[in-house]
Amino acid sequence: MLYWITLMRPDTLGVIGLGAIGGSVAWQAARAGVSRIVGYSPAPAEGVAAAKAGAITEIATSARMVVRQSDFLVLAAPPAAAMDQLRSAAAEIRSRGIWCTDVSSVKGPIVRLAQSLGLAPHFAGSHPLAGTHRSGFDAARSDLFSGVIVYVTPVEQGDAAAREVEDFWSGVLGAHPVPMAAGAHDSLLAWTSHLPQVAASALAVALAASGPRGVTYGTGARDGTRIAASSVEMWRDVLLMNREPVLKALEGLEDSLGTLRHTLLSGDAAALTNWLANAAEWRRGLGE
Amino acid sequence: MLYWITLMRPDTLGVIGLGAIGGSVAWQAARAGVSRIVGYSPAPAEGVAAAKAGAITEIATSARMVVRQSDFLVLAAPPAAAMDQLRSAAAEIRSRGIWCTDVSSVKGPIVRLAQSLGLAPHFAGSHPLAGTHRSGFDAARSDLFSGVIVYVTPVEQGDAAAREVEDFWSGVLGAHPVPMAAGAHDSLLAWTSHLPQVAASALAVALAASGPRGVTYGTGARDGTRIAASSVEMWRDVLLMNREPVLKALEGLEDSLGTLRHTLLSGDAAALTNWLANAAEWRRGLGE
C-alpha cells in the first residue's frame, strides 16, 4: 500500500534572533524533526550556544544570509529590530515566496508594515504567551511552546499566510494558535501583559530610588517585581509601539492608586475594605 | 554527674488567632516540645483543625481563657483585634507576669499601647517575615519560621521582655530575631512590604474594573497580583495604622508611574530606556 504524506514542516527554517523566544523556536523545531535550521544572532556567542545545543544546524553570519536560505522565516529580535529586518527582507520574501512571522508582544505596527510592503500573501504576526524575564539563548528551552497559546494576527487578505503560520505553531511546535486581529490583540495585551510589566517596573523604580538599602525583601516584593528584570530593549519597543492602549491601561492603575490615596488620607476603613476586597476577589478568581 | 538544664520553653504557650501565622507558631512550638499549648480562634473550625493537627493541646472557648492559662502569650489576630486583646489582657498580664508578643506587620501602635498600659516589663512586638497570601489554619505549617527573620520591637524600658521574646523565636522556633525600634520598623516595612502589597492590589483593582474578561493571564500578571489575595481585614488594619509611611511610599510609586506617563506621552525613547534599565538593574540585583 502506498501512503502519501504531506509534511507541514519547512524544509529550511530560518530564525533571526536566538534569545529566549527565537532560541526556543529553533530548538523545539529541531526536536520536532525540522532537518535544516539556519540561525543568526547579532551576538556571535548566542549562535555558537544555539549550535552547540543542537537548536540550529547552521550559524549564519548575517540576517540576510538567513533570509536567502529559508522557506519559513521567524523574526525573533526585539520589535523595532524585527520591523527593520522585515523591511530588508521584503523583496526576497516576495520573490522567493517565503512564509514569515515574528514573535513580538505588539502586533499592529508590524502587521501594518507587512501590509504596506505587499507581504499579505507571505506574512502573519505571532505572539506566543511564553514570555520570561530572562534573556538570551541561555533562557531558551526545547519545549517552551508545548501547549502554549500563540496569538496569530493576519495581514488584510493574508489568510493563507496566517493558516501557514498557525500550522507551524501547532504542527511543528505543539502550541495552540489563536487567530486575532492585530488591533484587538494590542488592546488586550495592554491590560494582560503590558500593564503588569509597567506596574512591576514602576515598583522597582520606586524601591530603587527611595527604598531602603541592604534589607530583606520578602516573597511579595520579589514576585511583584520579578518581570522588571526583563529585556529593556524589548519593553522600550513594546511600550512605545503600543503607546495609546498602554496609556489607557496606565490610567486605570493610576486611578486605582488614587482611590487608595484618597481612602488612606480620609481614613475611610469601609472604602479601604472595599478596595482590598475587590482586589482579593479578582485575584482569588484567577487561582494560584 | 548532675546536669542542670534551663528550659527556655514556656510551660504553657497561649495563642490567640490560629490562622497562617498563629497556627504555625503553635504547631512549630508543639514540634519543638512545648508540652502545653492553649489556642483560641473566633472561628471554632480553626481550633478544631489546629487540635487535630497536633498544633495545640487544648482548645480554649475564649481569648480570656487563653490569657488565664498562659505564661507566654502570642496575639496572632489581625492588628486592630490584637490591640483590643492586649487591652483586655493587660491586667492579667501584669498581675501574673505573663510574657506577651504579637505578630503583626505594623508595630508602632501596639508598642505605644503596651507602653501606655504599663506592659513594658512584659511585652515586646514581633513581626516574622513569613507572610503568605493564604489565610486560615489551612495555610499554617509546622516549620514556617525556621531560619526566618523576625523583627522584635521593644517597648521603652522593655529590654527584658524583648530578650524573652527573642529567645522564644530563636530557641523554640528556630527563627532569627532582629531587634529594631518600632518606628524604624514601620518606615522600613512601608517600602519593603506594604508598598508591594498596595501595588499588587492596585493592579488587581485596575484589572478587575477595566481589564478584559475571561482571558489568559500570564506569569507576569499572576506573580504581580498574587498577594492581592491576602487577608483583607489584616491589610485594612496595617495600611490604616501605618498611614503616613505608606502614603510616602505610595507617592514614590505614583511618581515613578508619572515619569513613565510623561515618557510615553513625549515618546522619549532614551528616557524610557533609562526608566526600564533602572528597574531591571535593581531587580537583577535582588537575585531570583
A131 contacts B218? CB cut-off 8 A: yes
The model's confidence at residue B214, banded by pLDDT at 50, 70 and 90, is confident
> What would the pLDDT profile of A78-102 be if each residue is shown by its tens digit?
999 999 999 999 999 999 999 999 9
State pTM to two decimals: 0.91
Q: Which residue has the higher pLDDT, A6 or B275?
A: B275
Q: Quick one: average pLDDT of B267-286?
A: 97
B222 contacts A206? CB cut-off 8 A: no
Distance from CA of A179 to the nearest CA of B (A): 14
SS (H, E, C) B149-185: EEEEEECCCCHHHHHHHHHHHHHHCCCEEEECCHHHH
Does the pLDDT at position B1 exceed 80? no
B206 contacts A283? CB cut-off 8 A: no
Lowest mean pLDDT among A5-14, A187-196, A217-226: A5-14
Searching chain B, which residue's CA lies closest to the CA of residue A284? B229
A206 contacts B252? CB cut-off 8 A: yes
Structural domain boundaries in chain A:
12-180, 185-210+219-286
Distance from CA of B19 to the nearest CA of A (A): 17
> What would the pLDDT profile of B27-85 be if each residue is shown by its tens digit?
999 999 999 999 999 999 999 999 999 999 999 999 999 999 999 999 999 999 999 99
Searching chain B, which residue's CA lies closest to the CA of residue A80? B269
> What would the pLDDT profile of A55-83 be if each residue is shown by its tens digit?
999 999 999 999 999 999 999 999 999 99
Which residue in A195, A281, A284 is closest to B203 by CB distance?
A: A195
CATH class of the structural domain A12-180: alpha beta
| Cβ atoms of residues A274 and B208 within 8 Å | no
- Number of A to B CB contacts under 8 A, please give it: 283
Interface test mutation site (partner A, options B106, B257, B261, max chain A beta carbons within 10 A) = B257
Q: Quick one: average pLDDT of B121-131?
A: 95
B206 contacts A249? CB cut-off 8 A: yes
Cell of A228: 522588571
pLDDT of A218: 86
Q: To the nearest whole number, what is the mean pLDDT of chain B?
A: 95
How do beta strands B72-75 and A58-59 pair?
A: unpaired
Does the pLDDT at position A288 exceed 90? no
B218 contacts A223? CB cut-off 8 A: no
pLDDT of A225: 96
Searching chain B, which residue's CA lies closest to the CA of residue A196? B221
Calpha distance B185→B129 (Å, rounded): 12
Phi, psi of A149 (to 5 degrees): -75, 135
* 3-state secondary structure at position B37: strand
Q: Is A173 exposed, middle or buried (0-12, 13-18, 19+ CB in 10 A)?
A: buried
> What would the pLDDT profile of A193-218 be if each residue is shown by its tens digit?
999 999 999 999 999 999 988 887 88
Searching chain A, which residue's CA lies closest to the CA of residue B130? A218
Cβ-based contacts of B149 with chain A (< 8 Å): 216
Distance from CA of B2 to the nearest CA of A (A): 44
**Would A12-180 and A185-210+219-286 be classified into the same CATH topology?**
no
pLDDT of B112: 98
CATH number of the domain located at residue range(s) B185-286 in this protein: 1.10.3660.10
**DSSP string for residues in B228-278:** GGS-HHHHHHHHHHTHHHHHHHHHHHHHHHHHHHHHHHHT-HHHHHHHHHH
CATH class of the structural domain A185-210+219-286: mainly alpha
> What would the pLDDT profile of B165-205 be if each residue is shown by its tens digit?
999 999 999 999 999 999 999 999 999 999 999 999 999 99
Does the pLDDT at position B3 exceed 60? no
> What would the pLDDT profile of A34-56 be if each residue is shown by its tens digit?
999 999 999 999 999 999 999 99
Q: Quick one: average pLDDT of B104-113?
A: 97
| Sheet of strand B99-102: strand arrangement | B58-59, B36-40, B12-16, B72-75, B99-102
pLDDT of B213: 86
Q: Is A159 exposed, middle or buried (0-12, 13-18, 19+ CB in 10 A)?
A: middle
Does the pLDDT at position B15 exceed 80? yes
Q: Which of B131, B143, B145 is nearest to B227 (CA)?
A: B131
The model's confidence at residue B120, banded by pLDDT at 50, 70 and 90, is very high
Cβ-based contacts of A232 with chain B (< 8 Å): 273, 276-277, 280
Distance from CA of A99 to the nearest CA of B (A): 28
A200 contacts B253? CB cut-off 8 A: no
Cβ-based contacts of A277 with chain B (< 8 Å): 232
Does the pLDDT at position A4 exceed 90? no
Interface test mutation site (partner B, options A127, A129, A180, A219, max chain B beta carbons within 10 A) = A219
| Cβ atoms of residues B170 and B163 within 8 Å | no
The model's confidence at residue A219, banded by pLDDT at 50, 70 and 90, is confident
